[in-house]
Amino acid sequence: MKIKGFIDENRCPRIYFQSVTGHKVSLVVDTGFNGTLCLPKQLINELNFEFMGTYEIELADGSRVQSPIYSGEIIWFRKKREVIAYGTESSVGLLGTELLRGVYFELDIDKNFVMITEEQ
């Protein structure tokens, strides 16, 4: 099974995932984020994710902030998968390296090529 993505106008690798509610969501693949998902709060509400509390996270600039965390399900390689998502005010969703465990991730910005392949 493969998930094909694309390079957006800002040269960011993106893929789509599907929620169990049927939403198709575009996410930036962020190899600097070691969680599963970071999603806009509006999208979290649309996906019916459940609020779990808050958690202190470290941002790329080294600062620490409290972030709301949510649990929910997505479809990942045709299977339901329980995930934790951090809520954000951003309009951009991120897919972190926790979802890249056990897969092969290929990226070629010049050829507009993004592929995540499930290891057998």
Domain boundaries, the chain: 2-118
**Sign, CA torsion 76/50/70/13:** positive
Per residue in 79-109, pLDDT (tens digit) is: 899 999 999 888 899 999 999 999 999 999 8
Q: Which fold has domain 2-118?
A: Cathepsin D, subunit A; domain 1 (2.40.70)
Tell me the mean pLDDT in the region 44-63: 87
Q: What predicted TM-score, i.e. pTM, was given to this entire model?
A: 0.85
Region of poorest pLDDT, from 7-11, 15-19, 33-37: 15-19
Structure tokens at 120: 């057998």
- Residue 45 is inside which H or E element, if any? helix 41-46
Structure tokens at 52: 């779990």
